[in-house]
Amino acid sequence: MKHIIILGDGMSDHPVEKLGGKTLLQYAKTPYMNLLAKEGKTGRLITVPEGFMPGSEVANTAIMGYDLNKVYEGRGPLEAASIGYEMAPEDMAIRCNVIYLEDGKIITHNGGNLSTEDGDILMKYLNEKLGNEHVKFITGIQYRHLLIIKYASKHIVCAPPHDHPNEEWKPLLVKSEPGWEDVHEPIIGLDGKPTGEVRLSGKETADLINDLILKSQQLLSEHPYNKNKAASGKRQANSIWPWSGGYRPSMKTLMQMYPTIKSGSVISAVDLIRGIGHYAGLDIIKVPGATGLADTNYEGKTKAAIDALKKQDFVYLHLEATDEAGHDGDLELKINAIQYLDHRVIEPIYNEIMTWNEPVCIAVLPDHPTPVEIRTHVKEPVPFLIWYKGIQADTVQQYDEVSCTTGEYGLIELQQFMDTFMKY
């Protein structure tokens, strides 16, 4: 049996008064999610371990079956893997958003929906002005970029910008983890042995990153891109905001963990998801026009998933649009993104595999809720469904946060999802 996970990032939500007290999944028109729920089995999943923040890198890694306490190194290393940067033992890779600040506050985490092309121009500009033998800015996708700092410590406290909309930015600057202010951690080589070199302390690393943030604000404000934006009254991309750093991770592949998987692919517009896929041993499929927003190339991603599933055992199809709409607090857009996922992704995949002789097992779920009225990730269980032709269905009739509470799987945790999914 082949397997495909279809993940709507941040898709689940809270009841909304404007929707008559319904959640967005309850309100949206999702006939194919409901069909799969009615014909399949459902439940709820805890995707974030104790002690971890509900980030997509955490939740997606757990959904794929990994123990975060053993493999987690933050977003930075995952995104480095996605864009082909092979980390050295002394590297610390950290996610580098380009954000919009105004009147001393974080207005948006995405630099006014910065495009990849414009982001590349700004990253190259910053690397020219601030980069050196120890500091390197690397272009990612849209507003999501990468900062490599050699000999830096991962033992710092950073504030994810999407968790702090409309908050003052200065109190959110990087700090050392308590107890790591003056600790110089030894660097471990690829052979698992100390190299004899040490890292900066937590305080030295925090001071370095904060200095880069302040210098970036001055440089970006002077760049023609932002001068043009300011002149037209539009949101700018006027500060970097690094967060979620780590060292090179050590992960088994999915093929080593689940022997029935001989080959597989990950399809996403988001670097960190591609990075998880890279370390999981999956092929990374990049689809032209995949933006991570509601204007993404749904049809292209769907075709890529079907084509991959014809040749391989496992596909992880990730769609970011629902999460971005949640962060923007855009109720209508998030409902549309949910409906696009149902109509333009799940429907054609379901109809295609119904014509196949070889059975395919489908799972549909979010990684975490991103409620539109909160505009940030929350640490709550998410609804999931598992379907294949002939599975003995439970009594749930539709797919949403409330209905799935009565699903046959009940409430499961972390790696239990992948273990359950791969049993079929």
Task: Quick: pLDDT tens for 160-172.
Answer: 998 899 999 999 9
| Residue 412 region by backbone torsions, left for phi larger than 0, else alpha for psi between -120 and 50, else beta | beta
**Distance in angstroms (rounded) separating the CA atoms of residues 40 and 31:** 14
Do the beta carbons of residue 415 and residue 60 sit within 8 Å? no
Do the beta carbons of residue 38 and residue 392 sit within 8 Å? no
Tell me what pLDDT residue 251 has.
Answer: 86
**Distance in angstroms (rounded) separating the CA atoms of residues 395 and 391:** 13
pLDDT at 89 over 90: yes
Do the beta carbons of residue 383 and residue 399 sit within 8 Å? yes
Q: Token pair of 194, please?
A: 């100390």
Q: How confident is the model at residue 238 (pLDDT cuts 50, 70, 90)?
A: very high
Q: Which of 109, 86, 88 is nearest to 99 (CA)?
A: 109
How large is the average pLDDT for residues 210-217?
A: 98
pLDDT tens-place string over residues 344-379: 999 999 999 999 999 999 999 999 999 999 999 999
pLDDT at 231 over 90: yes
Q: How confident is the model at residue 107 (pLDDT cuts 50, 70, 90)?
A: very high
pTM (2 decimals)?
A: 0.78
| Residue 226 region by backbone torsions, left for phi larger than 0, else alpha for psi between -120 and 50, else beta | alpha
pLDDT at 392 over 90: yes
Q: Token pair of 216, please?
A: 């970036």
**Distance in angstroms (rounded) separating the CA atoms of residues 422 and 424:** 5
Q: Indicate the domain borders of the chain.
A: 2-72+250-422, 77-247
Tell me what pLDDT residue 415 has.
Answer: 94
Q: What is the DSSP string of 239-277?
A: EEEEEEEE-------HHHH-TT---EEEE-S-HHHHHHH
pLDDT tens-place string over residues 260-311: 999 999 999 988 899 899 889 999 999 999 888 888 999 999 999 999 999 9
- What is the fold, at CATH topology level, of the domain defined by 2-72+250-422? Alkaline Phosphatase, subunit A (3.40.720)
pLDDT tens-place string over residues 165-213: 999 999 999 999 999 999 999 999 888 889 999 999 999 999 999 999 9
